[in-house]
Amino acid sequence: MSDAYLALETGDVVEARARAPGAAQGELVFTTAYTGYEESLTDPSYEAQVLTFAYPLIGNYGVREERFESDRVHPHAVVAREMTDDVAEWLEAEGVPGVDHVDTRDLVTDIRDRGAMKVGVSAGPEASPEEAKAQLESCPHMSDITDIGERVSVDEPVHHAGSGPRVALVDCGAKGSIVDSLTARNADVHVLPYDVSAETVADLDPDVLFISNGPGDPANFEATEALVTHFKGDLPIAGICLGQQVVARAFGGTTEKMTFGHRGVNQPVLDHESGRVVMTTQNHGYTVDEPGDLTVTQVNVNDDTPEGIDSEEYGVLTRQYHPEANPGPHDTLDFFDDVLALAEDRAALTVN
């Protein structure tokens, strides 16, 4: 007898085995990554989602805190074909429902065909299809979660001292490895709340404004977009993932929701200038539609969506993928060198 249920927006109810009890709701998405489950589960970009792992066995090398990207699990629930006790116990300790014994091949196919969808989850001794359906009925769309930045951002500034360029890193849900990649290059990093004021940033006198990755609809990060608008032309600006989307919007561009997004560690990206294709790690459900005053310099080989948006005139350098991803390909780690080189040459800006 099943003790877990997934109520899908399609009307289907999927039976499963409870591995960590609880009830939850969220946007059902999948990742094709075959390693890195610890990093995925602690990635703030998965906030308010229910994460399905396409790879059939999750937990085969244990759980180690030093691989975490943040201080907690962010998906509201986790779905797997088979989940080890290590992962199940971790999820239970975090209060996050986890289920397995699901035909994840079928579930992933549904998401690919129909798009990311709302789901309700009920798991544990008292689980029922009715509870899962009730969770589904009250589940908001991602675009309606207007406080999602507040859920994942730091409350107060955090300083990581360094002797290199000063980076104002706006935390929209930043992964720890972004900070690590900058501090490893001796950058002086100030991690700031997503809604930090322009006055606070100006008082820091940074060499570059860096907008991090994060969850949800970039349109809901209005304060961050306004910050970019305030400093465009005055400061070099960099961004990763959601950061690229927010920066593009601030320069007159538009963003749109994708059918099921890019989530995995083998997304091919073509650089227009060099003709080189690199492999990248990605986790996003929104993309830049039009870049506004900026220029698309890299695209996804599979669907031609923008992966790099630059502007020499404005001093802008953004990437949709995660150059710092752990685990993942290291093809694009030089992005951080390019950002810091941009920061060291603020005088190169030609816009006043």
CATH code of the domain covering residue 134: 3.50.30.20
Q: Output DSSP code: residue 92.
A: H
Check the annotation: does 245 bind a ligand: yes
How many other β-carbons are positioned within 10 Å of the β-carbon of residue 213? 29
Range of the domain at 233: 148-348
Check the annotation: does 216 bind a ligand: yes
Tell me the three state secondary structure of residue 156.
Answer: coil
State yes or no: is 307 an active-site residue. no
In DSSP terms, 17 is beta-bridged to: 100
Domain CATH for 216: 3.40.50.880
Residues 208 and 269 in one domain: yes
List Cβ neighbours of 91 (8 Å cut-off, separation of 6 or more). 19, 20, 41, 73, 78, 97, 98
State yes or no: is 273 an active-site residue. no
Residues 108 and 43 in one domain: yes
Residues 162 and 245 in one domain: yes
Residue entry with tokens 């009920």:
122
Distance CA 74, CA 175 (A): 12
Residues 86 and 208 in one domain: no
Task: Please give the chain's pLDDT, 352 residues, in tens.
Answer: 689 999 999 999 999 999 999 999 999 999 999 999 999 999 999 999 999 999 999 999 999 999 999 999 999 999 999 999 999 999 999 999 999 999 999 999 999 999 999 999 999 999 999 999 999 999 999 999 999 999 999 999 999 999 999 999 999 999 999 999 999 999 999 999 999 999 999 999 999 999 999 999 999 999 999 999 999 999 999 999 999 999 999 999 999 999 999 999 999 999 999 999 999 999 999 999 999 999 999 999 999 999 999 999 999 999 999 999 888 888 899 999 999 999 887 645 544 4
**Nearest C-alpha neighbor of 270 from the set 301, 232, 306, 249:** 301
Residues 28 and 127 in one domain: yes
Check the annotation: does 285 bind a ligand: yes
Residues 116 and 168 in one domain: no
Per the CB < 8 A criterion, the answer to whether 129 and 122 are in contact is yes
State yes or no: is 225 an active-site residue. no
Name the domain boundary from 103, 121, 140.
140
Residues 181 and 298 in one domain: yes
Name the domain boundary from 97, 120, 140.
140
Residue entry with tokens 């935390």:
171
Check the annotation: does 40 bind a ligand: no
Residues 132 and 175 in one domain: no
Residues 185 and 129 in one domain: no
Tell me the three state secondary structure of residue 69.
Answer: coil
* 108's tokens: 């992933």
The catalytic residue among 38, 241, 262, 284 is: 241
Residues 220 and 331 in one domain: yes
Per the CB < 8 A criterion, the answer to whether 185 and 214 are in contact is no
Residues 103 and 166 in one domain: no
Q: Name the domain count of the chain.
A: 2
The catalytic residue among 27, 82, 225, 324 is: 324
Name the domain boundary from 88, 105, 140.
140
Residues 87 and 178 in one domain: no
